[in-house]
Amino acid sequence: MIKAYLLGFLCFALFLCVHVIVFRTIELKERFRAIKTIFFSLIPVYAALYFITPSGYVVVETGGPAAFFSAAPFGTIVAVTVYIHFLSGFMLYLFLFLGYCQFYFIVDRSISVRVMIEIEKSPDGRLSAEEIQKVYPFKGILDRRLEHMVCGNYIEDRNGRYSNTGKGRAEALVFSFLKDLLRLGKGG
């Protein structure tokens, strides 16, 4: 099973490398779509690596690719073990990616992080609320968010008036329910 974990971690490290290279060399409008594409394109790489990498000393596995593709899936302990090993490495890759997505959105979209960066960049390391609004105006924040929501097909712009698409309406209902359930208030 260690083989699967190592391969899951290796694929995530490869994902990070490709992500950095792509973002540093190509100007992208839909960056998160690129991140998802990189993630999904490495799933077959994980599968291929899993089947071509011998178990060796790091895994106690009584079968190999033949057990995985046996005629009676889940029919034997060997087949079940191979499925569990394969899926455990894949799940590690998936959960590392999901955790990274949280980190990515904090870095990319956090208002608090942006304000702290602007304060740090100021000549004396201090800014008043008015000075912060000058370097990071609300209109810029709102315009960027609206643009991302239009690009993500959550809302549509009809002559300067926005409306939810089906996708946006569904998400609004789900998140409204969750905010009410957890008593979070309007937020945002």
Bridge partners of 158? 161
Angle in degrees, CA 136, 137, 141, rounded to 5: 90
Mean pLDDT of the chain: 86
DSSP sequence for 126-174: ---HHHHHHHS-HHHHHHHHHHHHHHTTSEEEETTEEEE-HHHHHHHHH
pLDDT (tens, 9 = 90+) of the chain, 188 residues, equals: 688 999 999 999 999 999 999 999 999 988 899 999 999 999 999 999 998 988 754 554 545 555 555 545 555 665 677 788 899 999 999 999 999 999 999 988 888 898 999 999 999 999 999 999 998 888 888 898 899 899 889 999 999 899 999 999 999 999 999 889 988 877 66
Tokens 């950095």 identify what position? 20
Supply 85's token pair: 């090993």
DSSP sequence for 44-64: HHHHHHHHHS--TTS---S--
Bridge partners of 164? 155
Bridge partners of 155? 164
The pLDDT of residue 183 is 84
Q: What is the distance between the alpha carbons of residues 47 and 40, in angstroms, rounded to a whole number? A: 12
pLDDT by residue (tens digit) across 72-97? 555 566 567 778 889 999 999 999 99
pLDDT by residue (tens digit) across 110-137? 888 989 999 999 999 999 999 999 988 8
Share of the chain above pLDDT 90, in %: 56
Instruction: State which amino acid sits at residue 110.
Output: S
